[in-house]
Amino acid sequence: MLRVAIIGLGPIGNVHARHYKEHPDCDLVGLCDIIPERADEASKRFGAPAFYDAAQMLRDLNPDICGVCTGGHEYGGDHYAPTMQALEAGCHVLGEKPISNEIDKAEAMVRLARERGLCYGINLNHRFTKLTRIARQWVDAGRLGHLLFINMSMWIKNPRETSPWFQLKALHPHTIDVMRHFCGDIAATQCFVTSAPGRKIWSTAHFNFKFACGAVGGLTGSYDIERGHPMERCEVAGTGGRFVLEDMMHELTWHPAGTNEKTIISNAPFGDIPEKTFDDTFRNRIRCFVDQVAAGASPETIDGSGADALAAQRVIAAAITSVEEDSVVEIPVPNGAL
């Protein structure tokens, strides 16, 4: 049994807690929030003791895994301190995205996990669907031939106006991670931004990318469109053919080059469990981390790692520089290196 504690019990921390609670190999042993009512409510809901101070909880419980589900400025400003505390305490950590919008802090978190030999994952849940797995296997097996281009888009309505770059920083850790998952490191970017009438932030953006492998790509994202269904689309093409992933979990279509035939795979189960909702991506992601830790996986093999999340943040930081300077910005490759 792996003993799991969670820091940060907002809506997302509660989702993590539920999935750990339901995991047959996990024992949810502690729930911490600096807002006592949040910790107490979660304690009642999940039947684990409440704490109001992370250091205290880590000392008292010495958990194997610590979930860091804090939020903060630009939805990631509070992750650094509890992540460092949990790593110092010897826990494997699964944190929420973005790893941190401050690149030096993200680097310090990844570095400490490496120094301590601990597994450090981020909830890059959009890559944890069965269809994304199948698509990635096609890429790895060379089915697409020479990779040429990737087009990605994601759109939801998010009315928060907290900082001019909130949309880029809070939405695109996911999309950029999926693009890197299929096409590898991003070597350069150029970004353009706009907003819906009445908005004060850059709530819609388009990024051009040059990948280290030579492929090119485009990413469009928006916090201005009410989410019906779907909300996300990814198309990857090579000389051997092209696939389109609708909503990451709902439909994967393979278009082989040179024929008018296509193969459609719909809503496949992840392992033995059907995927029906976005919530399933959280379960899949948490299961994968727990399974890797339980199997004694070496930290550098963690799927959706802190280094992957750091790489995505470096791309976002470069895109912001591109807007500010109206330029194409090169990104050091490999993006996840320290």
Ligand X SMILES: NC(=O)c1ccc[n+]([C@@H]2O[C@H](COP(=O)([O-])OP(=O)(O)OC[C@H]3O[C@@H](n4cnc5c(N)ncnc54)[C@H](O)[C@@H]3O)[C@@H](O)[C@H]2O)c1
Residue 127-166 contact track with ligand X, rule CB under 6 A, x = bound: ----------------------------------------
- The smaller minimum CB distance to ligand X, of residues 76 and 238, is found at 76
Stretch that binds ligand X, among 7-15, 21-29, 140-148, 252-260 (CB under 6 A): 7-15
Amino acid at 212: A
- The smaller minimum CB distance to ligand X, of residues 77 and 240, is found at 77
Tally Cβ neighbours within 10 Å of residue 324. 11
Stretch that binds ligand X, among 70-78, 102-110, 263-271, 313-321 (CB under 6 A): 70-78
- The smaller minimum CB distance to ligand X, of residues 18 and 38, is found at 38
- Shortest distance (Å) from residue 111 CB to ligand X: 20
43 touching ligand X, by CB under 6 A: no
Stretch that binds ligand X, among 6-14, 194-202, 221-229, 230-238 (CB under 6 A): 6-14
Selected binder of ligand X within 20, 28, 42, 75 (CB under 6 A): 75
Selected binder of ligand X within 18, 19, 92, 97 (CB under 6 A): 97
Selected binder of ligand X within 1, 35, 257, 264 (CB under 6 A): 35
d(C-alpha 241, C-alpha 193), whole Å: 31
Selected binder of ligand X within 71, 90, 218, 256 (CB under 6 A): 71
- SS3 of 57, please? helix
Chain centroid to CA 6 = 18
d(C-alpha 17, C-alpha 42), whole Å: 8
7 touching ligand X, by CB under 6 A: yes
Selected binder of ligand X within 19, 38, 130, 314 (CB under 6 A): 38
Give the helix ranges, DSSP H, for the chain.
11-22, 36-46, 54-61, 80-88, 103-116, 130-140, 166-183, 279-294, 306-325
State the DSSP string of 224-278. BS---S--EEEEEEETTEEEEEETTTTEEEEEETTSS--EEEES--BTTB---ST
Report how many residues bind ligand X under the rule CB under 6 A: 26
Which whole-number Å values give the CA distances from 240 to 60, 191, 208, 237, in the listed order? 56, 29, 23, 8
76 touching ligand X, by CB under 6 A: yes
Cβ atoms of 53 and 34 within 8 Å: the answer is yes
Q: Which residues bind to ligand X, rule: CB under 6 A?
A: 7-13, 32-35, 38, 54, 69-71, 75-76, 78, 81-82, 96-97, 123, 125, 170
